[in-house]
Chains A and B, each alone.
Chain A
Amino acid sequence: MLVVAALGALLTVLVPVRASAQGQGVDGRLASRVDSATRATLAPVLDSARATGLPTEPLVEKALEGASKRAPGARIVAAVRALRGDLETARAALGTGSSAQEIVAGAGALRAGVDASHLQQLRADRPGRSLAIPLTVLGELIARGVPVDTAATVIASLERDGAADEDFVALRQSMGRHGGPFPLPAAAAAHARGAPASVGPPPGRALGRSHRKRKP
């Protein structure tokens, strides 16, 4: 039904690697936002990342985030370095031929708590096929509260069964059309407020009678 329609309309669903001012040393966008000392410290980090073929856009965005949040320069540098490290780890686990989208999605999975060995295994199970979507879906499952091992197991088994990108997206869709099936804090509170945890009369009897009072 819905999944069939979605398959028909599916376009590229890759993690974006936005075009930025590449190859300009320190990104031009940082100039107005980050002090010169911090920029000077960041420059080699960005340059070496770029030189080794790592995507630099996430690093620039991380620095901009720190700037907007008025973080001290040292903290910005530490955060950018940490992210660069995760991107490197992701690439090592996924292989040097990995695309920027795969590396970014892989780093996201690592940050969500997935072990690098899971990334290696995914690559080993189906070499020569982009893992950007499976890794993105994996990250989202965990962000939405699925335990890391459950999410990793489910993604890995789908991968081994030969699932295509559409199948991973279909899995994500099956999690609930409202976009979040897992009890997020506010939703859980709403349940506690409004939904009966255990209904008063057993279901069999309740169905047979009209409701007079309903136990909260």
Chain B
Amino acid sequence: MSERTDDELVIERVAREVRSPVHLDAAFDARVMAAVRATRLPLRRRRVLAGMLRQRRVMLSPIGALALAAGFAGVVAASTLALYAPATKSVTPAARGAAGAVPATRRLIQFVLTAPSASRVALAGDFNGWSTTATLLRRAPGANVWSVSVPLAPGRHAYAFVVDDSVWVADPAAPRAPENDFGPPNSVVTVYGASL
């Protein structure tokens, strides 16, 4: 190995760092494609510059794209779920539309679980007294995905799924609660106010 100066070493080290990969997850793709679907297709023919054929541009601000993405999140979640994971998705009241009154201080949180062979899936958490019967998930017809949306007050909530009244399942795609007082581990969802 030839002698390298300290100077060169520093730059090498920085270069290595800035070359290291940065991964975005599939949700990013979903957001982009949601915005793409809302955008007029680019014209195949050559554009005429200036004046005559000036087109109205669909200006999709990041916030606008996000609102759309939130609307599509459920659809995307369903398809990607078949491949790997249940997900706890946050659905803003705006994206949900007018139907379903959600008190202003709470946010509607969607809980999802892929459980192909289950006949019953319940959601139990500190927001429903850990009842194994009060909050049942519904399965979309012909699908393996169970889901339910629950209004939650801001703050930290522990929860788990109960499959077939007997098996406690933590949410694989959500953070784990650090404590494990009773054997089956819990998951955590943290809700922040009415802001996104």
Contact = CB atoms under 8 A, between A and B. Distances in A.
Question: Do these two chains interact?
Answer: yes
Nearest to B19: A203
Given A65-B130, A178-B25, A186 B196 contact: no
Nearest to A184: B173
A177 B196 contact: yes
B173 A10 contact: no
The A interface, classified by DSSP as helix, strand, loop or mixed, is: helix
A184 B130 contact: no
Interface residues of A, number: 63
A119 to B, nearest CB: 16
A13 B66 CA distance: 22
Scoring A1, A112, A143, A172 by chain B CB atoms within 10 A of each residue's CB, the highest score goes to: A143
Contacts of A1: 61-63
B193 A13 contact: yes
Given A61-B129, A190-B84, A136 B181 contact: no
Interface string A167-193: 001001100011110001111011101
A10 B194 contact: yes
Interface in B163-191: 168, 172-179, 181-184, 186, 188, 190
Interface string B116-157: 000000001010011110000000000000000000011110
A67 B130 contact: yes
A14 B194 contact: no
Given A10-B193, A68-B131, A2 B85 contact: no
B27 interface: yes
A169 B193 contact: yes
Interface stretch (A88-96, A194-202, A206-214): A194-202
A113 interface: yes
Nearest to B126: A61
A43 interface: no
Given A136-B156, A173-B196, A198-B21, A11 B181 contact: no
A101 B155 CA distance: 9
A115 interface: no
B1 interface: no
Contacts of A179: 88-90
A111 interface: yes
Given A14-B154, A140-B156, A184-B173, A61 B130 contact: yes
Contacts of A186: 84-86, 172-173
A144 B156 CA distance: 13
B11 interface: no
A116 interface: no
A197 B155 CA distance: 36
A14 B124 contact: no
Interface string B76-111: 000010011110111000000000000011000000
Contact of A16 (B28, B131, B155): B155
Interface in A8-61: 9-16, 18, 29, 33, 58, 61
Nearest to B184: A69
B62 A9 contact: no
A11 B194 contact: yes
B23 interface: yes
Given A66-B182, A143-B176, A190-B84, 9 more contacts: A2-B63, A6-B195, A10-B193, A12-B154, A16-B153, A16-B154, A143-B177, A172-B192, A177-B31
Interface of B: 21, 23, 25-28, 31, 61-63, 66, 80, 83-86, 88-90, 104-105, 124, 126, 129-132, 153-156, 158, 168, 172-179, 181-184, 186, 188, 190, 192-196
